[in-house]
Structure 1
């Protein structure tokens, strides 16, 4: 007889519970934990299920905790944090993913035994059976947001806050960026169709295809060979907003994981690109991205602090600078639901200060007539419209280069897209041009 952890589906639940335990109770990043867990599962269907369970559990953790609070006579002690994670795995299967109840319950109970919790397998079975009978409690879409952050979003967007919370609570579509240096958008859409993947182009997004049904990138034809990348349409807009001159000297100041730099190079391989990131490990991801897509052979990749320009800048001004700044990531909660677990109220002031330091440090590196794009994946005004206005007050030689409605609604001197707008992530854009010397 096979060992319990070798039975179909059990290992997936065991690993999903371990990922959730690390994220929920250990302060770990979901992306980092999945990067370690997914390669250990050889079957792509298991990898897809693991990912789906973890995302569903994190998006609905407040509802699942409410059920545990109502159904258990006393809260689970800290030592039973792994059990809480496993129960969230079970609830996610029955609730958000609507998997066949018998298989989901049986595999999750077996996962309790496989995890050394045989004495709690009966409790797991009883709670999952109750969830199957009664369903999980409903909750408002903003219930997962920390009180301080919920209040900030409502203060910044009083008319749109409920829509922001609702869009952030559900999965977004998959957006692909076709590498037009290798293949055409229509041609690649046809290849996807032949592989059973429905994708469609969107007016005004020349490199994009939208896929509404969940699909693994590894199932996409030519993905490993660099024919396409997964990149939200809001992030693809960065290349349009920056619009560097052909063959120009370009800086991507916070480049990892490299998707935006790669997009610029796909459009213009003659760019003289410098890609910078403060984290050498993350910079290796930029190398991997460039290698897969066949771009950036002549790019300059530097592990350095962008604010310490004396340590890395060669003194030659840049024609265009992209600052995709560190931010609260409140515009991409639907893709990174653990943001709501890890973000603290004290983080915001520190992020706003860092963004200002980056802007002020990089501005002198821009040539007269050049363009700087400040972008975030945030919806908070302090990081976006207010940050942009403060920068313009500090720099008299900076003038706004207006962007059109394709970049979202006007917000201060920039443009703001909110989560779910036209299926895209939340994103802020400000383009400033350096006035020519008199």
Structure 2
């Protein structure tokens, strides 16, 4: 039964990692596809999830360790190397797993998977050397950026950039925090029931959002409260966006880059007679917004439309909207904890082209804002080029706009009149929010 290896948890992890490393699949999507398609029990599902996320998030570190035990990586078939990497992850970081089980499974997969003899011998030899010898010490790497890169599994350019913008001490705190587990966080749709759901779920109050609850982990999506629309899954930082628009109820609002709709439905929850036009480029993403709105009983307040936000000025008359949200496409660096594959995406270094798109969107949508109207700009990145610099550049070329200073009880997230949250501060996504007003 040559395909039996696919039924093993570690075999499933290997299949997923191959998609991530060689087919540019997103780890969360590749993992969901596998778990929905194949029959694994709950224990296997959580082992597969742990191995996939762990191996992706520690990839650079694992490659460095393996380089000490493999003479020439290029001579190995890619799947053999991936198998060694995911096995090394378990042996080095998951100390509750018996080493012999990890090695035996890897050898069995190599034997069943390989077309050529010998893959299982090599896998066995490398992993046994790895378990019998002391691991090489990362701290001996002399160049500091290289050392941090290997230690925290971040590409050198990202290490450099974070140190440049945040200084060495804070940058290292950010690096450390990216390995912490992401909390599960929800928004309670009726603030008066916050305490009730806190007790029901044995959760904690959010430190940042007055309507948020958090838990170290939890399957909120399968709860009755979720199905009934009493709660919705939304990161604490994202929950700070809608309140900045100070929605009174009757406004006409544009959500320029709306999918998957977490902020759209949050804004819609403040409306009585008003309406939100929610835009996205893709049909399947617009369907997500509608699904979200329906579950929360807000579908009547939201119209979805397929449109590139850069074409808003051509599609809508001037001064059509009272308020606008631009949750701009960005590098997504603030989401690394949840989507570890982001950090290996080379395109993200191109901040100039990201900034150009962000400014194009702002310059188009601002034409449809009425005088005196406000526009909130948000991103899930923590780099100046996509945040403060975008606001500065926009204001320099749009003298009819001014910045509105934002505030928060937690003063450490208020920077340059904007809210800037880095992942180590409150163990959340990294996030940025700024606001602009069209002068009356």
TM interval, shorter chain, is 0.7 to 0.9
1:221 Cα offset (Å): 4.8
Query: Within 5 A, what are the aligned runs for 1:315-330?
Result: 317-330=320-333
Task: Give the corresponding residue for 1:51.
Answer: 49
Query: Within 5 A, what are the aligned runs for 1:75-114?
Result: 75-77=73-75, 80-101=77-98, 102-114=100-112
* Gap runs ≥5 in structure 1: 194-198
Is contact 2:407-2:418 (8 Å) kept? no
- After TM superposition, the score normalised by the length of structure 1 is 0.87
Whole-angstrom CA distance in 2 between matches of 1:135 and 1:184: 54
Whole-angstrom CA distance in 1 between matches of 2:28 and 2:423: 20
Whole-angstrom CA distance in 2 between matches of 1:45 and 1:108: 18
Whole-angstrom CA distance in 2 between matches of 1:4 and 1:225: 46
Of 138, 148, 151, which aligns to 2:160? Answer: 151
Is contact 2:313-2:367 (8 Å) kept? no
More helix by share: 2
Whole-angstrom CA distance in 2 between matches of 1:407 and 1:221: 36
The 1:325–1:204 alpha-carbon spacing in structure 2 relative to 1, beyond 3 Å, is closer
1:37-57 Cα offsets, whole Å, 9 max, x none, are 221244344333322211111
Of 193, 197, 214, which aligns to 1:188? Answer: 197
Is contact 1:34-1:51 (8 Å) kept? yes
Whole-angstrom CA distance in 2 between matches of 1:407 and 1:286: 33
The 1:411–1:130 alpha-carbon spacing in structure 2 relative to 1, beyond 3 Å, is same
Is contact 2:326-2:377 (8 Å) kept? yes
Whole-angstrom CA distance in 2 between matches of 1:207 and 1:344: 36
1:201-260 Cα offsets, whole Å, 9 max, x none, are 135522211112x33445545334444333221111112223323231111111111111
1:401 equivalenced with 2:401 (yes/no) = no
Is contact 1:93-1:99 (8 Å) kept? no
SS of the aligned residue for 1:399 comes to strand
Whole-angstrom CA distance in 1 between matches of 2:265 and 2:110: 44
Whole-angstrom CA distance in 2 between matches of 1:226 and 1:44: 26
Task: Give the corresponding residue for 2:206.
Answer: 202
1:273 equivalenced with 2:276 (yes/no) = yes
1:378 equivalenced with 2:378 (yes/no) = no
Whole-angstrom CA distance in 1 between matches of 2:67 and 2:302: 54
Task: Give the corresponding residue for 2:247.
Answer: 244
The 1:216–1:44 alpha-carbon spacing in structure 2 relative to 1, beyond 3 Å, is farther
1:407 Cα offset (Å): 7.4
Is contact 1:180-1:267 (8 Å) kept? no
Task: Give the corresponding residue for 2:142.
Answer: none
Query: Within 5 A, what are the aligned runs for 1:348-387?
Result: 348-387=351-390
Task: Give the corresponding residue for 2:285.
Answer: 282
Q: CA RMSD in A?
A: 2.7
Whole-angstrom CA distance in 2 between matches of 1:92 and 1:19: 15
Task: Give the corresponding residue for 1:429.
Answer: 433
SS of the aligned residue for 2:108 comes to helix
Query: Within 5 A, what are the aligned runs for 1:295-314?
Result: 295-310=298-313, 312-313=315-316
Whole-angstrom CA distance in 2 between matches of 1:88 and 1:224: 39
Of 68, 71, 74, which aligns to 2:69? Answer: 71
Whole-angstrom CA distance in 1 between matches of 2:340 and 2:34: 18
1:372-407 Cα offsets, whole Å, 9 max, x none, are 111111111111111111111112222222111447
Whole-angstrom CA distance in 2 between matches of 1:217 and 1:124: 40
Of 248, 254, 257, which aligns to 2:257? Answer: 254
Of 112-121 and 82-91, deviating more is 112-121
Task: Give the corresponding residue for 1:23.
Answer: 20
Whole-angstrom CA distance in 1 between matches of 2:272 and 2:101: 51
The 1:192–1:346 alpha-carbon spacing in structure 2 relative to 1, beyond 3 Å, is closer
Whole-angstrom CA distance in 2 between matches of 1:59 and 1:408: 28
1:333 Cα offset (Å): 1.2
Whole-angstrom CA distance in 2 between matches of 1:18 and 1:166: 28
The count of corresponding residues between Structure 1 and Structure 2 is: 425
1:61 Cα offset (Å): 0.8
1:292 Cα offset (Å): 3.4
Is contact 2:268-2:302 (8 Å) kept? no
SS of the aligned residue for 2:309 comes to coil
